[in-house]
Structures are given as C-alpha cells and as structure tokens.
C-alpha cells in the first residue's frame, strides 16, 4: 500500500478510536491536515478522498486483524 494512504488510514483510525475522548478534536484536525496534504499532492478534492477513506476503512481494519494461517512455532 502507498505509504501516504496508509498514514491517512492510520490517522483516521486514531480519530475513530478516540471518539468521545478528550483528544478527539486534535486527532480529527491531524486527519484533516493529512487529508488536505494528500488530496493536494494527488490533485483530488478533499471530499472525494475523505469519501474513499471512509469507504475503505472497514476493509482495511478487517485486513489488519486476520489471524495468521501459519501455526505457531513450538
């Protein structure tokens, strides 16, 4: 995965995990800042990129939590 997009998903994940917490606003501002930077670099509208992140986020979460298919070493 592209490092910029992965960093964007990670910052969105941090915001989602902090919802209702004391640093929710700070993490959302960080996500918005990264979103604007990546959108500008890729010549996309921030709204378009945000919609894509929100659509792909559940799949990205599931992909990160798959159990290993390899048995543990004894």
Q: Would you say residue 10 lies in a domain?
A: yes
**How many structural domains is the chain composed of?**
1
Task: Report pLDDT digits (tens) over 61-74.
Answer: 988 865 556 666 65
In a domain, 74, yes or no: no
Find the domain containing 53 and state its range: 3-64
Angle formed at CA 33 by CA 30 and CA 34, multiple of 5 degrees = 90
Question: 31, exposed or middle or buried, with CB in 10 Å at 0-12, 13-18, 19+?
Answer: buried
Angle at 56 between CA 53 and CA 60, to 5 degrees: 115
Two structure tokens written together for 39 = 């959108």
In a domain, 55, yes or no: yes
pLDDT digit string, tens, across residues 17-36: 999 889 999 999 999 999 99
Residue 69 in any domain: the answer is no
CA dist 63 and 74 (Å) reads 26
Look at residue 20 and tell me if it is in a domain: yes
Residue 72 lies in a domain: no
- Please give the model's pTM, rounded to 2 decimal places: 0.80
Is 51 domain-assigned? yes
């Amino acid at each position: 995965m592209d490092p910029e997009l992965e960093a964007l998903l990670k910052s969105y994940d941090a915001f989602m995990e902090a919802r209702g917490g004391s640093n929710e606003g700070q993490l959302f501002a960080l996500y918005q800042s990264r979103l604007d930077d990546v959108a500008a670099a890729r010549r996309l509208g921030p709204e378009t990129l945000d919609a894509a992140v929100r659509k792909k986020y559940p799949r990205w979460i599931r992909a990160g939590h798959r159990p290993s298919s390899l048995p543990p070493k004894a």
